[in-house]
Amino acid sequence: MNPVQYRRAESVEDAFPGAQWRLLGGGTNLVDLMRKGVEHPAGLLDVTGLSEEIAASDDGGLVIGAAARNSAVAAHPLVRRRYPMLARAILAGASAQIRNMATVGGNLMQRTRCAYFADAAGSRCNKRAPGSGCDAIGGFTRYHAIFGASPECVATHPSDMAVALAALDARVNVAGPGGTRTIPLAEFYRLPGDRPDLETTLGADEIIVSVAMPASPFAGASAYRKVRDRASYAFALVSVAAGVTLRDGVVDDVRIALGGVAARPWRALRAEETLRGTRPTDEAIDAAITAELASAEPLPGNEFKIELVRRTTVAVLSELRGTPA
């Protein structure tokens, strides 16, 4: 690891240290990537002293400070009661030790776990070194994308939390030297295209201040299910965040977001549109997710994800159908 400076930010205004610095949350991803030679910041600005408040908003929603630890969010009574899908998603991620360290802002900004990205010494990666090539394509692609990838990059975003946030229509409040703005989570992550090194729409000199969620009608009928290679402490092969409300047995509103399948949480909008206004029989759910999967482009090593997404979505939604909203 290269020599690095360290200091703690006293305020949001203090948190714009310059391009060679990185903001440090729990460090669970950044410290590891520095040790692996993927990241070499000149300095680390510890932002864990900034807002970690979790507070109800006037519109029935919730605002979570970017420095809130993942474990604190998942354990918070309002999150558990109003957004159980979010609590479940966070609890599906990493281990208890890592959730105690990781912040909400850091969780959103974590990098892909593509093994070729992390292998600075031995693998080509367009995300790590733009223009150098991609050794994942043609390599071991079990954990890689089936939606929205490009010939430059097939990496997935590893967050569970962000998948639930996508389903819940969360917004990311950010601040920069020029002021504050709000980015819908749906627009926060970029697809790789020809610039896989650009992962988010956050400016280089901006900081995430908080994440806001609108009131959710899905508290009573929502779920997060994660399918992985071992029962716990593993990244998703596929995950499904879903919520549904019914009126007279017909789908009034539905949200489906998929994890482990793209460079961003994949909101299954086509499946949602197909289901809205229908009776959610197994056949209808199957047809809806199959319509979404029509645009999937699996790699030779991850074709199984098509069937896994289909079956997991049908299982989750058919369970929710039986849950009173």
Q: Smallest gap, in angstroms, from Cβ of residue 237 to another protein?
A: 16
Q: Which is nearer to another protein, 33 or 246 (CB)?
A: 33
- The nearer residue to another protein, 11 or 248, going by C-beta atoms, is 11
Q: Which of 9, 39, 48, 221 is in the footprint of another protein by CB under 8 A?
A: 48
Residue type, 275: L
Please tell me whether residue 251 adopts helix, strand or coil conformation: strand
**Which of 54, 73, 101, 263 is close enough to bind another protein by CB under 8 A?**
101
92 near another protein (CB under 8 A): yes
Query: Given the rule CB under 8 A, which of 60-68, 76-84, 179-187, 289-297 is the region that contacts another protein?
Result: 76-84
C-alpha span between 162 and 255 (Å, rounded):
14
Query: Tokens 């079956």 — which residue?
Result: 311
Which of the residues 231 through 250 are near another protein (CB under 8 A)?
231-233
Q: Which stretch binds another protein (CB under 8 A): 80-88, 146-154, 177-185, 259-267?
A: 80-88
| Interaction between residue 84 and another protein (CB under 8 A) | yes
The answer to whether 301 touches 149, Cβ cutoff 8 Å, is no
Residue 227 backbone dihedrals phi, psi, to 5 degrees: -110, 125
67 belongs to the binding site for another protein (CB under 8 A) = no
Minimum distance, C-beta of residue 255 to another protein, in the bound complex (Å) = 18
Place of tokens 């919520």: 243
Strand order in the sheet with 250-259: 222-228, 236-247, 250-259, 266-267
Q: Where are the beta strands (DSSP E) in the chain?
A: 5-8, 21-24, 43-46, 54-56, 62-65, 171-176, 179-184, 207-213, 222-228, 236-247, 250-259, 266-267
Q: Does 98 bind another protein (CB under 8 A)?
A: yes
Stretch that binds another protein, among 13-21, 89-97, 149-157, 177-185 (CB under 8 A): 89-97
Q: Are 237 and 142 in contact (CB under 8 A)?
A: yes
Residue 323 sits in the site that holds another protein (CB under 8 A): no
Q: Is 44 in the site for another protein (CB under 8 A)?
A: yes
**75 part of the interface to another protein, by CB under 8 A:** yes
Binding to another protein by residue 228, rule CB under 8 A?
no
Q: Shortest approach of another protein to residue 92 CB, angstroms? A: 5
How many Å separate Cα 251 from the centre of its chain?
Answer: 26
The answer to whether residue 20 forms part of the interface with another protein (CB under 8 A) is no
* Residue found by looking up tokens 């961003």 in the block: 264
Check binding of 6 to another protein (CB under 8 A): yes
Smallest gap from Cβ 87 to another protein, in A, equals 5
Render the burial of 220-253: b for 16+ CB within 10 Å, e for the rest.
ebbbbbbbbeeeeeebbbbbbbbbbbbeeeebee
Residue 87 binds another protein (CB under 8 A): yes
Q: How many C-beta atoms lie closer than 10 Å to residue 108's C-beta? A: 23
Residues that bind another protein (CB under 8 A): 1-6, 24, 26-28, 31-32, 34-36, 44, 46, 48, 71, 74-75, 80-81, 84, 87-88, 91-92, 94-98, 100-101, 226, 231-233
